[in-house]
Structure 1
Amino acid sequence: MTTTGEDAETARGGPWWWTRWRSAVLDVGLAFVSALECGVEGVRFADDAGIPMVAGITFGVMAGWVLLIRRRWPIAVVLVSIAITPAQMGYLMGIVGLYTLAASELPRRIIASLAGMSLVGMLIVMFVRVGRSPGRANLDLGDWFVPFISITTAIGMTAPPLLLGMYVGARRRLMESLRERADSLERELQLLAERAEERAEWARGEERTRIAREMHDVVAHRVSLMVVHAAALQAVARKDPEKAVKNAALVGDMGRQALTELREMLGVLRSGSESGPVRGRSVPLAAVGAAAAAAASRAVGDEGAAEGPCLSDLDVLVGQSAAAGMVVELSVEGDSRTYAAEVEQTAYRVVQEALTNVHKHAAGAKTRVRLAHRGSEIAMQVENEPPGEVSPSAARLPSGGNGLVGMKERVVALGGVFVSGPTEAGGFRVSAVIPAA
């Protein structure tokens, strides 16, 4: 098998221009046999040319060793074999040279030209040699014998090595092309695997973020109300025992609801991680969202709300905030209608998180919740006035700083617009517009 490109450079282990020691040994052996052949034939060449025998043998040996450079300069080998053909030597050199030339990457016109020259030279030499043969005079073979033997010998010495070399060269190029294609495919597959791993890691990160946002939206509001009621309970425990008992009951109910929601979401996460042996498998967000939505719906008292919170639950949500001591007003504009589940859940979560932020940062501030049903969209706005004087017993709710970010991500994911910021009067406003489709 052959190597190409960078692999060919790194695979070189032989001397000079040979890629392997085995190739070098083969060429040295062929050159030795060729030199021996040409040296033997140099004896007859010296007799015919009338030169000293040593000169003829030396010339033949030197010409035969040219086969040593067949891989580096195949054209030179073929030209030398053609040049010494009239001396009736170098037959092995001609055969091996033509094979190497045909198997090389040289242009076809050069190969055809040199092969034609070799064929013509061999034809002329054989015609002369057979015509002058002493044994022919004793045989009556006719005039066809000399041309037939000359043409047959010339074609037999030229065509087989040429065709074999062309076949080997074509096969080598095909193998190199297939190997390069396989290497390219392997690199592409490796790149695709790396990209798939990156996408999977990104998807896992996005899913973790969404699960965290879902848990924040579902649980944070209820826990915030628990803290507010606990602060109120602390303030009225001695002055108004009946109100304290009522607040304690509310805290207990909301605590149980929060625990139920947490257990259901964690149960989905646990069952998802145990459902398959794949390491690093992420839990489907739809399952977590469904569990969280169902838990939130049961928390607000909706028996069949397996599909999650909806806009009809805003009255209950506002009532919970009012029960915690917030002065909150809800106004609805336009004809109410049913929207897609994702749209209604996102609108509910925006209002829920906005009210939670009022509990955290503006306890006791008057708040207005507006909901507008428009032709192709639904708009909501939660605006609170500046907070009044905070009593020492007021609840101090921690803030993670992710509420506004989560609301914006939810709204933008549905193609809506989200705006939040302080008002001129010193309060805070959260506005969102979500497409109805």
Structure 2
Amino acid sequence: MSTTGARVPDEEAARAPDDGVGRRAAPAGSGLWWWARRRSFALDVALAAASALEAAFEGATFAARTGIVTWLGALFGLLVGATLLLRRRWPIAVVLVGVAVTPAQTGFILSLVGLYTLAASEVPRRITAALAGMNGLGTMLVAYLNFEDSLSHSGSSRMSAPLVVMVSLLMALGLTGPPVLLGLYVRARRRLVESLRERADGLERELELLAEKALERAERARAAERARIAREMHDVVAHRVSLMVVHASALKAVALKDPQKASASAELLGDMGRQALTELRQMLGVLRTAADGAAPAGPVVPAEPVPSGVLGEVSPEGALDGSLDDSLDGSSAEAAGPRLAQLAQLVQESRAAGMGVELAVEGEERPCGHRIEATVYRVVQEALTNVRKHADGARAQVRLAYREAEVAVLITNGPAAPTTAPAPSLPSGGHGLIGMRERVTAHGGGFAAGPTPDGGFRVSAMVPLT
């Protein structure tokens, strides 16, 4: 396709998509022929009608001066002026027609509007400059010849040639420069608007993607938080309730035979229930505080043993890391979690429930960090709970090792002891081992669990200190 076919976008309408050859295609069904909007078509028809009338009058005047038939000159001017209707489709052709009829001093509106349309179009600037120069040169020559002819016929003193050239040059610049500069300004402004619109569209798409990702992250965070709360509820409830079930069974067995022992068991059962309620109340209070964004109404007084590591534990997905821990100050968080120093009391509680448990500590005892100690404590607590559930009467050994770069714990138990008495019913949800593994791996540690050759079970965990 030749360059004369370069189409001009609609100045009043929003620019249509590029058709691939430097032209802007009108949206399908949105206008007539190459006009994007009907009001653009009406504007061009009005300009073409004004140009045709002006060119017809000037054509008739030129024909009268040169001896040509007047109506023929008027018809020629009418056709020339009507070509302005094609300015959006073929701006180069319209400007060439204006340059061609310049010697006949016809097409003043045609030249002005054609130059503006050419400069505002997507035609390369070198072509615009060349055609504008041709139009200016033609206008300057015609003006010079008119000045010379007018002076010679008037009989007045002849103006100097340089002055005539200067006046002709100024006239050519006045008729060529303003429409070209205005067209270039409109073209630059349109490009700027397009660039800003594309940037705004890009930002809007990015915001939509960010919003979708934020929703996905929020959904993952909610799922992780639900899993973590379920794990904490399991740890808090399973240990205490299992002990309460064991003591309740023992209380039923000795209630009539040994009232004094039954009274002691009932008192211990009540203490465990109160401790379980205290732990649940603490955990729910921390969750409510984190959700409301407010400080706790009063100081947290932990029971023995204290609630689980819900404070600031890292979830498996890494979401909401430390979100709950940040709801309390450092001192409250340190005071609210279980410590390795409380393992002895945990073992003592299991012994009081009739379980044979031994605790062995290797290495020098030292602080290992709140989260790490809470994780190891919960692993031991859940392992002992599983022994009571699945291996009633079995003996268990708990070995805690303080190493240079890690803390390791090993819980083993033998097979369940044979007995004729029915074991207390302790339901299991099957999430204990999963919860322990999640706790340990969240700190980058290792976890293993499985049966032993003698029919018992073994749970081991290693948590790095860094």
Q: Would you call these one fold, judging by a TM-score over 0.5?
A: yes
Counterparts of residues 341-380 of structure 1 (less than 5 Å): 341-380=370-409
1:200–1:305 distance in 2 versus 1, CA, 3 Å: closer
| 2:13 and 2:37 in contact (8 A); partners too | no
- SS of the residue corresponding to residue 302 of structure 2 reads helix
Task: Report what 1:410 is aligned to.
Answer: 439
Q: Tell me the CA shift for residue 271 of structure 1.
A: 4.6
CA displacement at 1:33 relative to structure 2 = 0.4
1:3 aligns with 2:43: no
- CA spacing shift, 1:370–1:174, aligned 2, 3 Å: same
- Residue number in structure 1 paired with 2:320: none
Which residue of the partner structure matches residue 280 of structure 1? none
What aligned pairs does 1:240-255 form with structure 2 within 5 A after superposition?
240-255=258-273
SS of equivalent residue, structure 1 residue 415: coil
Match of 2:89 in 1: 72
Q: Does 1:139 align with 2:147?
A: no
Q: CA RMSD in A?
A: 2.8
User: Residue by residue, what CA displacement relative to the aligned partner does 1:118-172 show, whole Å, maximum 9, x if unpaired?
Assistant: 1112122222233223775322142335323321221111111111111121112
> Which is worse superposed, 156-165 or 12-21?
12-21
Equivalent residue, structure 1, for 2:287: 269
Listed as ranges, the gaps of 5+ residues in structure 2 are 1-11, 19-24, 309-332
Q: In structure 1, what is the equivalent of residue 182 of structure 2?
A: 164
For residues 257-296 of structure 1, the aligned pairs below 5 Å read 257-275=275-293, 294-296=302-304
SS of 1:164 mapped into structure 2: helix
Counting only pairs closer than 5 Å after superposition, residues 227-238 of structure 1 correspond to structure 2 as 227-238=245-256
CA distance in 2, matches of 1:245, 1:163: 104
Counterpart secondary structure, 1:338:
coil
Deviations 1:332-359 (A, max 9, x none): 1222222111111111111001111111
1:109 aligns with 2:117: no
Corresponding position of 1:175: 193
Q: What does residue 21 of structure 2 align with? A: none
CA distance in 1, matches of 2:428, 2:16: 61
**How much does 1:10 deviate?**
6.2
Q: Which amino acid aligns with 2:49?
A: F
Letter in 1 for 2:284: L
Structure with the bigger percentage of helix: 1
Q: Distance in 1 between matches of 2:116 and 2:26?
A: 24
Q: Distance in 2 between matches of 1:299 and 1:158?
A: 87
Alignment match, 2:110: 93
Q: Which moved more, 1:51-60 or 1:97-106?
A: 51-60
Q: Give 1:279's aligned residue.
A: none
Shift in alpha-carbon separation, 1:223–1:335, aligned structure 2, 3 A? same
| Paired residues of 2:307 and 2:336 also in contact (CA < 8 A) | no
**1:393, 1:435 → 2: CA distance?**
42
335 and 9 in structure 1: CA distance in 2 versus 1, 3 angstrom threshold: farther
* Structure 1 position 43 matched with structure 2 position 60: yes
Report the Cα distance in structure 2 between the residues aligned to 1:419 and 1:9, rounded to whole angstroms.
69
In the TM superposition, residue 4 of structure 1 has moved relative to its aligned partner by 4.6
- Counterpart residue number, 1:129: 146
AA paired with 1:137? S
Would you say how many aligned residue pairs link Structure 1 and Structure 2? 422
Matched to 2:194, the amino acid is E
The amino acid across from 2:186 in the alignment is V
- Aligned AA (2:167): I
Determine whether 1:225 maps to 2:243. Answer: yes
CA shift at 1:381, angstroms? 0.8
Q: Tell me what 1:118 maps to.
A: 135
Q: Is the 8 A contact 1:13 1:20 kept in 2?
A: yes
- In the aligned structure 1, how far is the partner of 2:172 from the partner of 2:181? 14
Query: 2:326: which partner in 1?
Result: none
CA distance in 1: counterparts of 2:101 and 2:182, whole angstroms: 23
> What is the SS of the residue equivalent to 2:335?
coil
Shift of 1:231: 2.0
Distance in 2 separating the partners of 1:269 and 1:436: 27
Structure 1 counterpart of 2:325: none
Q: Decide which of 308, 331, 334 is 2:360's aligned counterpart.
A: 331
For 1:311 and 1:362, the matched residues in 2 are separated by 25
Match of 1:31 in 2: 48
What is the distance in 2 between the residues matched to 1:12 and 1:146? Answer: 54
Q: Per-residue displacement from partner, 1:259-299 (whole Å, max 9, x unpaired)?
A: 122223233334554557xxxxxxx9xx8xx96x9345359
Report sequence identity in percent: 57
Counterpart AA for 2:393: G
Q: Specify the code of the residue in structure 2 equivalent to 1:342.
A: R
CA distance in 2, matches of 1:175, 1:305: 58
CA contact (8 A) 1:232 1:394 kept: no
Q: For residue 62 of structure 1, what is the aligned residue in structure 2?
A: 79
Give the aligned partner of residue 281 of structure 1: none
d(CA) in 2 for partners of 1:336, 1:142: 114
Cα distance in 1 for partners of 2:363, 2:146 equals 114
Q: Partners in 1 of 2:290 and 2:438 — Cα distance?
A: 25
Amino acid in structure 2 at the alignment position of 1:235: A
Question: In 2 relative to 1, CA 2–371 (structure 1 residues): closer, same or farther, beyond 3 Å?
Answer: farther
Rounded Cα–Cα distance in structure 2 between residues aligned with 1:54 and 1:305 = 105
Amino acid at match of 1:36: L
1:419 aligns with 2:448: yes
Partner residue, 2:169: 151
- 2:33 pairs with 1:16: yes
Q: Does 1:210 align with 2:228?
A: yes
Contact kept, 8 Å, 1:417 with 1:432, in 2: the verdict is: yes
Q: TM-score, normalised by structure 2?
A: 0.83
Query: Residue 5 of structure 1: CA displacement?
Result: 5.9
Question: Which runs of 5 or more structure 1 residues have no equivalent in the other structure?
Answer: 277-283
Worse-superposed segment, 243-252 or 360-369: 243-252
Aligned partners of 2:47, 2:376: CA distance in 1, in Å? 88
User: Relative to structure 2, which stretch is displaced further, 37-46 or 376-385?
Assistant: 37-46
